[in-house]
Amino acid sequence: MEACPVCLHGGAHPLTMAQSLLDTMPGASTGTVLVTDHLNYWGGQRVQPRQQKDAEPVFEPATGRVLCQMVPCVAEEVDEAIKSAHGAYLKWRKMAGMERARVMLEAARIIRERREKIAKLEVINNGKSITEALVDIDIAWQCIEYYAGMAGTLAGQHVQLPGGAFAYTRREPLGVCVGIGAWNYPFQIAAWKSAPALACGNAMVFKPSPMTPVTAVILAEIYKEAGVPDGLFCVVQGGAATGTLLCHHPMVAKVSFTGSVPTGKKVMEMSAKGVKQVTLELGGKSPLIIFKDCEFENAVKGALMANFLTQGEVCCNGTRVFVQREIMPQFLEEVVKRTKVIPVGDPLLDGTRMGALISKPHLEKVLGFVSQAKKEGAKVLCGGEPFVPSDPKLKGGYFMSPCVLDNCRDDMTCVKEEIFGPVMSVLPFDTEEEVIQRANNTTFGLASGVFTRDISRAHRVAENLEAGTCFINNYNISPVEVPFGGYKNSGFGRENGQVTIEYYSQLKTVVVEMGDVDSLF
């Protein structure tokens, strides 16, 4: 018997709101949750949309059911949220780094305490497996903890000048920053953008993807509970129109966007009108190069991790797998054998390793890439078809079987374009020089990887690959301590690591004269 829907109503005290929604999670299962809470957040509380028109349904990917309605914010609401953030920024910027750090550490602690509940809600809205979602939530609190540790270290320089004069620099916040998130890592991206912003003394207005509006507001409530000034992290819902309002708003100092290349270009163009700083984390078509002297077992595991996490909906995935010709047959045999047994199904079950894709149109698009690949001469070794799990409640879900393509050429659509689904294209190569040239022959440059036992080759290849990250003998690990970002059309600016502080702050030079003015006049 199907459990009755768990309805989650707005109107509770703001501090207990995060609890009310999350507290139903332990008993929730796929196909039972309905979200009726307001999804906007500013001034320290959830905010009811001013009007209900243009509401869009948000789906539960595993069942195809409507999970909630997303009502896009209009100009007055965006303005209200930004003003709320600006008021909070004026208080927050005056606090010492150590004071900000204590609040952020408390937020990290609360997330850690509620990780199972947050992960479950993330799965219901996004479709990825619970095993992966738990890791995402852990990375989120680790990111906030990491930048809390950096908040107290922000400092300038002292420079001695002639005649006893001196200068010093101050690292100052930018003001109100806008974060625009993607649907593949909804909660984690909200943390990746807000943590460095808050550590530097900024406020943030965050717009989640219209397909995954549910968990960013949980982060807003957690920051409030941890003690940030009301309005410091606001959430506005909507699609392109709301994004445009944010990019054009005169009180916004910076925009950090994660998403596709075409949208990234538009964000940059709109932000340029107000000379706003921009960080762009865009798409990829990353190469993974496997040499014949690799540790074979690790290379196979690496290729699977590089293609099938989050149903293949990961921007840094290594979707062009170049395998040295001598080991190509056994590589394909082993990869296909393991791909065929990946458990696809209910994302809330611990045994599931691949959940549902984000939406029906996206599933159809990915399947379209597979049929296009066949037309162009690629050979489907396994998968690439709609998948219907045995559980009847999942029959409307957006599932497909993970796919491996052989007989690929560099000029095929499946090798050139970002598919953003569980499709691995495997290509043979002969020499190191040849494969580097082929790997770099793309407009993207987000990530790359190489498997080899030859230490000189590993570093040589890493140096020559045109990408923001190169993994050696592993793939798709993203520790918060190291910078992440793109080369070429994959974007610029960085997230994570110490360097990101520079993207959320600005430098003021103060020059102090201790003697008389030496004037020409």
Just list the catalytic residues: 281
* Closest by CA position to 214, among listed 343, 24, 353, 398: 24
**Do 208 and 186 form a contact (C-beta atoms < 8 A)?**
yes
- Distant-in-sequence, close-in-space partners of 274: CB < 8 Å, separation ≥ 6: 247, 248, 249, 250, 252
d(CA 34, CA 38): 12
Length of the chain: 521
Both tokens of 90, joined, read 């004026």
- Is the Cβ–Cβ distance between 363 and 403 less than 8 Å? no
Token look-up 């930004």 returns 82
Q: Which of helix, strand or coil describes residue 261? A: helix
For residue 294 the two structure tokens come to 């690799």
Cβ distance 8 to 37 under 8 Å?
A: yes
- Write out the E strands in 284-378: 287-290, 320-324
CA distances from 380 to 114, 143, 374, 407, 420 (A): 42, 39, 7, 9, 17
d(CA 335, CA 310): 18
Closest C-alpha among 194, 178, 241, 220 to residue 46: 220
CA angle 310, 313, 314 (to 5 degrees): 90
> For residue 69, how far is the Cα from the chain centroid?
23
Q: Work out whether strand 287-290 and strand 320-324 pair parallel, antiparallel, or are unpaired.
A: parallel
Tokens of 279: 């960080």
Q: How far is CA 285 from CA 51, 231, 450, 465, in A?
A: 40, 38, 15, 13
8 A C-beta contact, residue 183 and residue 209: yes
DSSP label at residue 325: G
Largest Cα span, the chain: 91
The H or E element that residue 22 is part of is helix 14-23
Which amino acid makes up residue 370? V
Phi, psi angle pair for 354, to nearest 5°: -140, 125
Please provide the DSSP assignment of 383-442 as one string: --SB---SSGGGTTS--B--EEEES--TTSHHHHS---SSEEEEEEE--HHHHHHHHH-S
